[in-house]
Amino acid sequence: MPLGDKLGWEKSESRYCGVETDFSEDMPQLLTFNISSGGFDFVVAPLMDPTYRPSLMEKDGGGLCVLPFSGSDLVLSPSQWSSHVVGKISSWIDLDSADETLRMDSETTLKLEIAWANHLSLQACLLPCPKGASCANYARCVNQILQGLNTMQLWLRIPLMKTEQDSMDVNSSNLIDSWELWNSFRLLCEHHSQLAIALDVLSSLPSVNSLIRWFGESVRAAIIHTDSFLTNARGYPCLSKRHQKLVTMFFNHSIQIVIGGKSVHSSPGASSNLVANNFDNNVEKSVQRHPLRSYLDYVGYLFQKMDPLPEQERFELGYRDFLQSPLQPLMDNLEAQTYETFEKDSVKYIQYQRAISKALLDRVPDEASITTVLMVVGAGRGPLVRASLQAAEETGRKLKVYAVEKNPNAVVTLHSLVKLEGWEDIVTIISCDMRYWDAPEKADILVSELLGSFGDNELSPECLDGAQRFLKQDGISIPSSYTSFIQPVTASKLYNDVKSHKDIVHFETAYVVKIHNVARLAPSQPVFTFTHPNYTSTKSNQRYKKLQFEIANDAGSAMVHGFAGYFDAKLYKDVHLGIEPSTATPNMFSWFAIFFPLRIPVCIQPGSPLQVHFWRCCGASKVWYEWCVTSPASSAVQNSNGRSYWVGL
């Protein structure tokens, strides 16, 4: 029984809530009790009798005789095993124990249980938390297993523990940052994409900055213990405000909730089968069939309390954390579907219309009867032409429009649009690359939408420099300037997707991506700025910037997998457009962020600076970016000479 049906959440795994159970020899009864009667969606259940130890088995003929340790695979259908059971590996195993017998038993048992789970086609297995700070042998064995695994995931159990900086306890020196434990384990396993995390959520939580790190990691489940719940005025379980906010973030990141532990709440009037569940004064009547049902109901209540996804986010769901190659606007002609997607972004064209209206009002006095020459360079299928003419109508100004477009297919649509709208006397269509067109007259206003996710990455500077020759000396360019920004991020999924190609080319490519499951480790900083028109004597579009980021002292260590890139553009005066998180234009979807991956992720410590270098390089036929890290350790300069990724002129 999913937690609820909400628009846009139909495909989210976080709709499903599981329960951690003890070992049972009767798996059908276990599912009936917890799923059919209890209302949970899946169980996290041990697959092997916890008393089993290989060293206790009798040896026959010099070989180890392994007795049956689990029930038959026939007791459930394959779909039941796959959909309703997450295997729980025996919690006693300790592969880094000083006791050789325990260590050998642990390795044998681990491999047996995962092989059995693999045979059952389970989607995931829960691995016990490492017993100490040293986990090299445990990670080695898990890495061996991962090499031969099919599609099953291994969830490493990690407690969401406080760091030393968070704690005021005199014994805080005994505390460790559990992220360090996870990071050590996954590095030993080579960032394997099938190794994920199940977070143990305890009664006390780390700082907000410490929690944020986990949302860029491969967290698949959050196990909330019953003793983490508080008791409300009516005796029912509830969570603190901080825990509620964390659970909501888990929902937003498709992290499944699992209830663990024994019931520690006894409902008032327990003698009756009917109990009143009251969560924040919302009263419901239900029959309690399971000792943990009230916890499940509370989690469902938190899910139902969430607002439905806005229309824009529902549209973007399919693009979340999906790597796309950036457009090559000068080398390639856009297709009709691409034009249509961009043209649906009404917010962008409203901003352009506002900018053009202000420019017209500044350009032409109220009493003057002057025709303003406006050129739309890169007119596409005409949305900026329409926005310009609407701005003229709004301000009562006269316009003469030149629509310059190099894509012959889009020009066909432009001619049809002009004829349909009756713009023949106002709009002149020019089928030509703006850089090579000889304009019959100078323009008062030059309008373009050549911006990419990183501002200049679709060669707006080069295009507008080429078009500037037909702008009057006092003419207006819209946009008038734009700045790129970068931000260090933890992005485990994006990193693994790039890594899966097993070549250097993909690590040296910048991708357009709707980033979602990432942790933004520090505020973004500006990189390159371009201004138009540009009348400086040296018109080089090459750029270099050194930046320094620091993560918050209470955040704990974090892994930098790469950099998210954004832009902010000033269209005209106070009218801006952009995707930089702190100033992003609301409800605009024309641009996703850009992602610059690092070939070797960098681990940074709190208070230790991350020093980054970015270059924008220009050649005779291409423009490209190079980037590297020089602190806390030096990396290679990526994409040297544009060997892997470049934009053609």
Q: Read off the pLDDT of residues 592-607 as tens digits, 9 standing for 90 and up.
A: 999 999 999 999 998 8
Is 462 among the catalytic positions?
no
Tokens, residue 107:
């390795």
> How crowded is residue 138: how many other Cβ atoms within 10 Å of its Cβ?
28
CATH fold for domain 481-648: Hnrnp arginine n-methyltransferase1 (2.70.160)
pLDDT at 70: 66
pLDDT at 174: 47
Catalytic choice (458, 508, 580, 626): 458
Cβ neighbours of residue 60 closer than 8 Å, sequence gap 6 or more: none
**Span 539-568, pLDDT tens digits:** 799 999 999 999 988 899 999 999 999 999
CA distance 580 to 483: 10
Tokens, residue 338:
């691409």
Intervals of CATH 3.40.50.150 along the chain: 336-449
pLDDT at 524: 98
Mean pLDDT of 630-636: 95
| Structure confidence at residue 74 as a pLDDT band (50, 70, 90) | confident
Burial of residue 151 (CB within 10 Å: 0-12, 13-18, 19+) is: exposed
pLDDT at 326: 81
Mean pLDDT of 73-77: 89
Mean pLDDT of 21-35: 93
pLDDT at 11: 67
Is 441 among the catalytic positions?
no
Tell me: pLDDT of 277 over 50: no
pLDDT at 85: 96
pLDDT at 177: 87
Nearest Cα to Cα of residue 113 among 166, 45, 197: 45
- Is residue 60 marked as binding? no
| Structure confidence at residue 314 as a pLDDT band (50, 70, 90) | confident
Query: Is-above-0.85 flag for pTM?
Result: yes
Cβ neighbours of residue 43 closer than 8 Å, sequence gap 6 or more: 18, 19, 20, 21, 30, 31, 34, 35, 84, 85, 86
Q: Please answer whether residues 370 and 399 qualify as being in contact, where contact means their C-beta atoms are separated by less than 8 angstroms.
A: no
Q: What is the mean pLDDT of the chain?
A: 90
pLDDT at 275: 37
CA distance 318 to 11: 10
pLDDT at 270: 43
Intervals of CATH 3.20.20.150 along the chain: 13-56+68-309
Nearest Cα to Cα of residue 47 among 138, 152, 186, 188: 152
Nearest Cα to Cα of residue 43 among 23, 69, 25: 23
User: Of the segments 114-118, 273-277, 281-285, 433-437, which one has the largest average pLDDT value?
Assistant: 114-118
pLDDT at 617: 98
Mean pLDDT of 471-478: 96
- Is residue 58 marked as binding? no
Catalytic choice (107, 449, 462, 508): 449
Q: What CATH code is assigned to 13-56+68-309? A: 3.20.20.150
Least confident window among 41-45, 120-124, 161-165, 574-578: 161-165
Mean pLDDT of 325-348: 87
pLDDT at 52: 86
Percent of the chain with pLDDT over 70: 91
- Is residue 305 marked as binding? no
**Span 150-204, pLDDT tens digits:** 999 999 999 998 655 444 443 444 457 899 999 999 999 999 999 999 999 999 9
Tokens, residue 40:
């949970």
Intervals of CATH 2.70.160.11 along the chain: 481-648
- Is residue 434 marked as binding? yes
Percent of the chain with pLDDT over 90: 77
pLDDT at 271: 36
pLDDT top residue among 311 and 386: 386
**Which CATH code of 3.90.420.10, 1.10.10.10, 3.40.50.150, 2.60.40.3080 fits the domain covering 336-449?**
3.40.50.150
Burial of residue 504 (CB within 10 Å: 0-12, 13-18, 19+) is: middle
